[in-house]
Amino acid sequence: MPFFRETDAISGKMAKAYVIIDGRTEELFYAKSLEATIEKNKVDVPVLGRTNTPQRSQGWSGSGTLTIYYVTSVFRQLMRTYIQTGQDFWFDLMIVNEQPGSGTGKQTTYLKGCNLDSVIAARFDASSDDMLEEELPFTFHDYDVIDKFNTITGA
């Protein structure tokens, strides 16, 4: 019976993230965490003679949250431009998960057409010893897995 090798585990601390805005790529070295989820939209398909209500997939939606240290004005400025002009903005996110020494290899995920739901306009907290951070909820309209993890065999 094979067992999972601890050396194949991927540390989230080893990830890299990049934002691509108007063709300009910036490493998100100040990012703390990111989670992007794809949710299938399902519709009921009532079937005569069945007591349950089966469902089928009818599209999908992508959403996520990027948590960063409160050290950049990039996203606030994008939102400010939207407020002033009404012209919305989109960007892409690229996430690379790779653990040196792991047989798992690396996975590169590209989130396309990201659009922020909200940003913090200003922030402080004089009662906390923690560093300031902000959560940036977003949606996305497409994604791709450019590099895929290797198939692991265990020990």
pLDDT tens for 125-145 read 999 999 999 999 999 999 999
pLDDT in tens, 100-117: 888 899 999 999 999 999
Q: pTM for the complete prediction? A: 0.89
| b/e map 28-46, b = 16+ CB within 10 Å | beebeebebeeeeeeeeee
Average confidence (pLDDT) over 89-94: 97
Residues 26-51, mean pLDDT to the nearest whole number: 96
**Superfamily name with CATH number, domain 6-43+55-147:** Phage tail tube protein (2.30.110.40)
Output the CA angle 9-31-39, nearest 5 degrees.
70
Domain boundaries, the chain: 6-43+55-147
Q: What is the pLDDT of residue 70?
A: 96
Neighbours of 1 (CB within 10 A): 3
